Amino acid sequence: MLKNICAGLVGAALLTGSMGTYEVVDAAASVPTFADMSVQVKEPAVSAEPVKTESAVPAETVNQQPAQESAPQAASQNVPAVESKPEVPAAQDPEKKNQEMKISINLAARSLALFEGTEKIRLYPIGPGKASTPTPVGYYKIRSKDVNPTWTDPSSGQSIGSGPDCPLGYRWMEIQGNYGIHGTNRPDSIGHYVSNGCIRMHEKDVEALFDLVKIGTPVEITYNRVVVEKMADNTVVYYIYPDGYGWQKLSTDDVNKWLAGYGVANFVSNEDIEEKINASDGEPTYIAKVYPLYVNGVKMKNNAVEQDGVMYLPAIDLADAAHVNLGWDEKSQKLISTLGTAAGLDKKDVLYCKAADTRTLFNLAGAVEHTNFVMKSVAAEKKVAPVQNQPVDIAKPVDHDAAPAVNSALPDKDNTTNNDTDKTK
């Protein structure tokens, strides 16, 4: 009879008839996270292949073993208890491979994301291991899948069959040795650090995930307090989560490095970053929209950044691309090129100009095209000299009988007529 080990502290408490051993979760640790948001943006392709059954693959030993929980024993119902991975995987074309499923778990965010290729299609809240028995980080895969599992107490050998009293819920997915992703009979524990190392999920969530993944699906487990994402509309948003395990101390330099990778570090002040680190509330902070910048078909080093409805462009990049000399007057905050002058901005030692001023400074104009900001050289604006109006002495009466002034630049009409007449003679 197959018996594995899994984390389930609540189940141990149920067996002893007391909840005194259940760890009380600090209310301060319960914070809203991005995992509470729905990301059900599309329906993934689910394989219609029948589930195969065979003996479970022997679990490999891992460095850290949970103390109180046990993995499921297959139920005796007439349902497939264990799904096995085919021995010889079928050859796949690269495009199909790029759309394969992957599970990504961030312990700091207490969230589980399901990716199809590079697109996140599901996001679920989870209950990972306690600080004393943390969920191990690393790269794993789904090794087995059980429906209606039976939980076995490793200390006593006593088992609880599938049902409302089973701490594993109604689904179990082994990821490595004694660790797995499973349901729970304590939904209030989700969002907290509560298990002995396993990943708990709400029952409806784990059943949905169970149907979407197959044996061999990669599972990546990380601990990242800083999460930066680029949304579909090019908006960059970032989150900072509490240090539940005490593993990752953060500084403004750390966060700036994360933001720099998305091209927005210059658009968030160090003071704002420090304030967000102190809060560590997991709430989203929307920074700006970022577009790769192209000038006459050449990609620039820095990006075009739209913040609060204004498009900012890296001035030195544009000057180099347009072969225009550029200077900076720090006192007046002005950019001075060989073509003109306009207001500039110094953002963490990087000079920016507004898109509306690029024609004046560089003879460049552009706009957003798809997901890029594309600029091209344009003809220099013709500068028309202002008309010099002669001052009028309002005290002097106007002589309406006086002949109008003759513009010497124009030909004399009478002379032209005389000349024409002379030519006909």
For every residue of 342-396, DSSP letters joined together read EEEEEETTEEEEEGGGHHHHHSEEEEEETTEEEEEE-PPPPPPPPP-PPP--TTS
- Residue 112 bridge partners (DSSP): 105, 124
Rounded Cα gap, residues 407 and 405, in angstroms: 7
Q: Indicate the residue type of 161.
A: G
Of the candidates 182, 192, 202, 353, the residue annotated as catalytic is: 182
- Separation CA 323–CA 317 (nearest Å): 10
Quick one: which H or E segment has residue 291? strand 285-291
Token reading at 49? 């292949």
Question: Hey, which CATH number is domain 9-222, 3.40.50.150, 3.40.50.720, 2.40.440.10, 3.20.20.70?
Answer: 2.40.440.10
DSSP 3-14: ------HHHHHH
Catalytic residue among 6, 198, 202, 353, which?
Answer: 198
State pLDDT tens for residues 97-155.
567 999 999 999 999 999 999 999 999 999 999 999 999 999 999 999 999 988 887 77
The alpha carbon of 53 is separated from its chain's Cα centroid by a whole number of angstroms, namely 39
Is residue 370 among the annotated active site residues?
no
pLDDT digits 0-9 by tens, 308-366 = 999 999 999 999 999 999 999 999 999 999 999 999 999 999 999 999 999 999 999 99
Structure tokens of 179?
């660790």
Q: Tokens for 216, please give them.
A: 């061999």
One pLDDT digit (tens) per residue for the chain, 425 residues: 333 434 333 333 323 333 332 233 333 344 444 443 434 334 444 443 333 333 333 333 333 444 345 555 444 333 334 444 444 455 556 555 567 999 999 999 999 999 999 999 999 999 999 999 999 999 999 999 999 988 887 778 888 888 888 889 999 999 998 899 999 999 999 999 999 899 999 999 999 999 999 999 999 999 999 999 999 999 999 999 999 999 999 999 999 999 999 999 999 999 999 999 999 999 999 999 999 999 999 999 999 999 999 999 999 999 999 999 999 999 999 999 999 999 999 999 999 999 999 999 999 999 999 899 999 999 876 655 555 555 545 455 545 455 545 444 444 444 444 444 444 44
Residue intervals of the chain classified under CATH 2.40.440.10 are: 9-222
**Residues in a beta bridge with 299:** 294
Spell out the residues 6+ positions from residue 143 whose beta carbon is closer than 8 angstroms to its own. Answer: 57, 59, 174, 175, 176, 215
Task: Note if 182 is an active site residue.
Answer: yes
